[in-house]
C-alpha cells in the first residue's frame, strides 16, 4: 500500500517512463528489500568510500551526489552535517526520499540526466534519425562552489535503459548501439576528470556469475568496452542477486571499486599516508 502511494507520488517525465527508468528505480527498491542482508555490506562499504572522500575535502561548501536514488548507499546525515549544501542528482527522486530529506535544510534534490543524452535518444527514435546522439555532460563544470562530487553506482547503468529502448523501438545496427554504449561510459569518465573539487567514483566493473557453492561460472566487464583509468582504492563484491530462484540457482555478483579522489586533488588525511611521507 505504502509503495503504491510512494510510486503514485513520484514524478517521472514521459520520455524516462517510456525508456523504462521508473521500472528500474522500483526494481532496485524491491531487490534491496528482498536481499537487504546481503546488500548491507555493499552499501556500508560505498558509504565508507564517500566518507573517505569527504575527509579529503579541504573546503566543504557544496557536495553533489550523482545516482542518489533511494539513498541506500549515501551517508546523508554525515554529508548534510559536513557541507553547507548537498545536491542529490538523479533522473527521479522517489517521493519518500524527497520527503525524508526535508529534515535537512541544506539538502536539495535535483532531477537531471547526468549523461545529458537521454532526451536526444528519445527524439532520435521519435524522428527515426539514423545517427545516434553523443553524450557530452557539462553540469557543474563551471560551479566553483563544488568541493565534492560522488558518482555512485551509476556508471554501468548509464547506457542500460537507453540501449534497451533503442533495441526495442528502433532497430539500429548492433555495432552502432555498442558504440553508443561505450561512448556514454567514456564520456562520464572524462566528465569526472574535468569536474571541480574532490571527485569520488564508486562503480561496478564486472558481473560475476557464481554457482550455489560460490564457484565462479562466468565473468564479463560491465563497462561496454571502456577501460577504467583509475586503480581501485577499495574493492568488493556486491551480491546483486545472491541466488536466482530457478535452476541452476546461480547468483549474480558485481565487482565494485571505490576511488575516493580520482584526480587526487584532495588533501590525503595523515593516517592514510605511508609512514615515510608523514
Ligand atoms: C544502481 S542505482 C544506485 C544506487 C542508489 N544510490 C540507491 O540508493 O539505490 C543507479 C541510480 O542511477 C540513476 N540513474 C541512471 N541513469 C541516470 C542518469 N542518466 N542520470 C541520473 N541518474 C541516473 C537511477 O535512477 C538510480 O537511482
| Residues 200/151, Cβ–Cβ less than 8 Å | yes
Instruction: Give the residue, by CA position, lying nearest to ligand 1 atom 16.
Output: 158
Ligand 1 pocket member 22 (CB < 6 A): no
pLDDT of residue 216: 97
Would the pTM of this model clear 0.85, i.e. be above it?
A: yes
Ligand 1 atom with the shortest distance to the CA of 117 = 19
What backbone phi and psi angles, to 5 degrees, belong to 13? -60, 150
Please give the average pLDDT of every successive group of 10 residues along the chain, which has 278 residues.
85 90 94 96 98 97 98 98 98 97 98 98 93 97 98 98 94 95 98 98 98 96 98 98 93 98 80 50
Return the closest-CA partner of residue 20 out of 181, 166, 225: 166
CB-ligand 1 contact for 114 (6 Å cutoff): yes
Both ends of the chain: CA-CA distance in Å?
56
pLDDT of residue 265: 82
Whether residue 151 has its Cβ less than 6 Å from ligand 1: no
Helix 36-55 / helix 21-34 crossing angle, nearest 10 deg? 110
Q: Is the CB of 204 under 6 A from ligand 1?
A: no
Task: Specify the length of the chain in residues.
Answer: 278
Helix/strand/coil for 8: helix
Angle, alpha carbons 251-253-254 (nearest 5°):
160
In whole angstroms, give the CA distance from residue 198 to residue 200: 6
Q: Is 185 in the pocket of ligand 1 (CB under 6 A)?
A: no
Residue 269 confidence (pLDDT) = 62
The listed CATH number (4.10.240, 2.40.128, 3.40.50, 3.40.1350) that belongs to domain 2-260: 3.40.50
Is the C-beta atom of 71 inside 6 A of ligand 1?
Answer: yes
Assigned C-alpha cell, 75: 551517508
Amino acid at each position: 500500500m505504502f509503495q503504491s502511494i510512494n510510486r503514485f507520488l513520484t514524478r517521472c517525465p514521459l520520455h524516462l517512463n517510456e525508456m523504462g527508468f521508473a521500472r528500474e528505480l522500483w526494481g532496485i527498491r524491491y531487490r534491496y528489500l528482498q536481499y537487504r542482508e546481503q546488500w548491507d555490506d555493499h552499501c556500508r562499504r560505498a558509504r565508507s568510500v564517500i566518507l573517505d572522500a569527504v575527509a579529503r575535502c579541504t573546503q566543504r561548501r557544496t557536495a553533489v551526489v550523482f545516482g542518489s536514488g533511494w539513498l541506500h548507499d549515501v551517508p546523508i546525515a554525515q554529508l548534510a552535517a559536513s557541507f553547507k549544501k548537498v545536491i542529490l542528482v538523479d533522473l527521479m527522486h522517489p517521493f519518500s526520499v524527497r520527503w525524508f530529506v526535508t529534515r535537512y535544510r541544506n539538502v536539495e534534490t535535483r532531477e537531471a540526466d547526468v549523461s545529458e543524452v537521454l532526451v536526444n535518444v528519445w527524439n532520435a527514435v521519435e524522428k527515426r534519425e539514423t545517427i545516434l546522439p553523443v553524450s557530452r555532460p557539462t553540469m557543474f563544470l563551471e560551479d566553483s562552489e563544488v568541493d565534492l562530487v560522488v558518482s555512485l553506482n551509476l556508471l554501468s547503468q548509464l547506457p542500460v535503459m537507453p540501449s534497451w529502448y533503442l533495441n526495442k523501438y528502433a532497430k539500429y545496427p548492433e555495432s552502432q548501439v555498442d558504440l553508443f554504449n561505450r561512448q556514454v561510459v567514456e564520456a562520464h569518465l572524462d566528465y569526472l576528470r574535468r569536474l571541480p573539487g574532490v571527485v569520488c567514483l564508486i562503480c561496478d566493473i564486472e558481473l560475476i556469475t557464481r554457482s550455489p557453492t560460490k564457484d565462479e561460472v562466468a565473468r564479463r566487464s560491465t563497462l561496454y568496452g571502456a577501460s577504467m583509468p583509475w586503480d581501485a582504492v577499495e574493492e568488493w563484491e556486491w551480491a546483486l542477486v545472491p541466488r536466482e530462484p530457478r535452476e541452476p540457482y546461480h547468483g549474480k555478483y558485481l565487482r565494485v571499486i571505490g576511488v575516493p579522489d580520482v584526480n587526487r586533488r584532495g588533501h590525503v588525511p595523515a593516517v592514510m599516508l605511508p609512514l615515510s611521507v608523514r
